[in-house]
Amino acid sequence: MIYDLRLIVSIAWVAHIIIYLLVDPPLSSFLNEIFIKLDSVWGLLGTAAFAFFCFYLLIAVIAGEMMLGLKLVFITIHPMKWGGTLMNSFLFNVGLILLCSISVIQFCATAFAYYAQATAAQEIFGHTLQSLRGIKYLYKYNVFQYGFVALAILTLFYYALFGWRKRKPTGRFQLSS
């Protein structure tokens, strides 16, 4: 049941990115329209669905970061191990998650620009960042969206080849030794 929901939400995300962000002009506003229709049913329902999609993306980023742990080709620099993570590795990964959370907010503000129009997030991430001299071309040519879809496809191939390995914790969680 939960795996089906994750698959549906992931497919909805990728479809929304392709339909709304990568095609110019957008074929459809897809999830934006769904959120607006849910708002017309009950005011908080569209906002709850919007929050669900944003939190899902953030949790997916956190899960990927925890799995990755800054792996370079053959070595892992800051691994997250059950009961064996050093404090500096933990703080590094928390900092990485905090950096990713800003990126997720920016990505959601771009992906749901039609739904989030006339909001502070849209003003900051939609207009101000896209006007900056150095990075406006990254927004103009959708570099972030293409990167997201490329990483999603790479992750799909990785899981198709190697599968999802669930590891059982080797030790009990303890705060001190």
pLDDT, tens digit (0-9, with 9 covering 90-100), for 106-145: 889 888 989 988 888 888 887 788 888 888 888 888 888 8
Residue 99, in any domain of the structure: yes
Residue 78, in any domain of the structure: yes
**Domain count of the chain?**
1
Residue 176, in any domain of the structure: no
Residue 138, in any domain of the structure: yes
Range of the domain at 120: 2-162
Residue 173, in any domain of the structure: no
Give the model confidence (pLDDT) of 62-109 as tens digits.
Answer: 887 777 666 666 667 777 777 777 788 788 888 888 888 888 888 898
Q: Do 111 and 17 touch, CB atoms closer than 8 A?
A: yes
Residue 171, in any domain of the structure: no
Q: Go through 39-75 and write b for each residue having 16 or more CB atoms within 10 A of its CB, e for each that does not.
A: beeeeeebeebbeebbebbbebbbeebeeebeeeeee
Residue 23, in any domain of the structure: yes
Residue 175, in any domain of the structure: no
Q: Enter the pTM of the model.
A: 0.77
